[in-house]
Amino acid sequence: MITLSGIIGSGKSSLTEILAKELGTKAYYEPVKDNPVLPIFYKGNEIAAKKRAEGDKEATNPYAYLLQTFFLNRRFAMIKKAMQDDNNILDRSIYEDEIFMRMNTEMGNATQVEYDIYKSLLHNMMEELPLASHKKSPDLMITIKVSYETMIKRIEKRGRDYELIEKDPSLVDYYQRLLKHYDIWMKEYDASPLLIIDGDKYDFMESKEDRVQVLETVENKLLELGNISEEQFEHLRKKHQAFLN
């Protein structure tokens, strides 16, 4: 099982799709389009930021805890289902889930009580995970690391109004904080082998050469970990040459 991680707009869903096709396996995607909380969460952030700027230091986003428990519930169900089989790819990790709730608490969008309850719930779920499947953790965690500039460019390209800094200037601080939290998370993550892909250097959606480079980086890691055989590795390399030609 491969799990993708990375900040908003880093290209997780795109790389998940590419890898699933490459390796002939099933992809599991983070719920966004059918998420009723996400748009109102962003609006709640905007309202809370304005209230704090006006002097209301206690203003929080009433939807922060709701959003994170929504995601946690969906992700837990998704990872349980994926772990029932041997070959799957998930476009978001439950292991990075706490980043968002911690940051929202630091920013004042959630209360410490909400954060403590969330952490307790997450801890209980993670304890149940090995019992709900035959795996304890992913075989490989892939993180796509991008700069603020690349992140904003990709967010603008996909065009979700509630994610655009032009629509909500408070997102500038939110996104920059999130990047810092991901840098810390990458250094601390130890649940499985971690592979970091440079999303600024490799445009795996637009460039065939970059796509092949990323695929070969991933497959070299899978070979090193014993998740694919030498024969499979060579077969994939031949596919890459045909793709480039």
Q: What angle in degrees, to the nearest 10, is found between the helix axes of 148-158 and 171-188? A: 120
Query: How confident is the model at residue 212, as a pLDDT?
Result: 96
Q: Is 81 marked within a binding site?
A: no
d(CA 127, CA 80): 12
Query: How confident is the model at residue 108, as a pLDDT?
Result: 86
Give the mean pLDDT per block of 10 residues along the chain (245 residues).
92 94 89 78 85 87 92 86 83 89 90 96 85 73 96 90 86 92 94 95 94 96 95 94 88
Query: How confident is the model at residue 76, as a pLDDT?
Result: 87
Query: How confident is the model at residue 137, as a pLDDT?
Result: 80
Closest CA to 28 of 11, 16, 10, 15: 16
Query: How confident is the model at residue 36, as a pLDDT?
Result: 86
* Residue 18 structure tokens: 């590419």
Query: How confident is the model at residue 50, as a pLDDT?
Result: 85
Q: What distance, in Å, lies between the first and last C-alpha atoms of the chain?
A: 30
Which runs of E-coded beta strand occur in 99-208? 140-145, 194-198
d(CA 93, CA 96): 6
CA 184 to chain centre: 15
Q: Is 75 marked within a binding site?
A: no
Write out the CATH class of domain 2-201.
alpha beta
d(CA 210, CA 220): 15
Q: Is 99 marked within a binding site?
A: no
- Each domain of the chain, given as residue ranges in start order, spans 2-201
Q: In what order do the strands lie in the sheet with 88-90?
A: 26-28, 88-90, 2-6, 140-145, 194-198
Q: Is 133 marked within a binding site?
A: no
Query: How confident is the model at residue 5, as a pLDDT?
Result: 94
Q: Which residues participate in catalysis according to the annotation? A: 91
Query: How confident is the model at residue 30, as a pLDDT?
Result: 74
pTM metric for this prediction:
0.87
d(CA 144, CA 60): 30
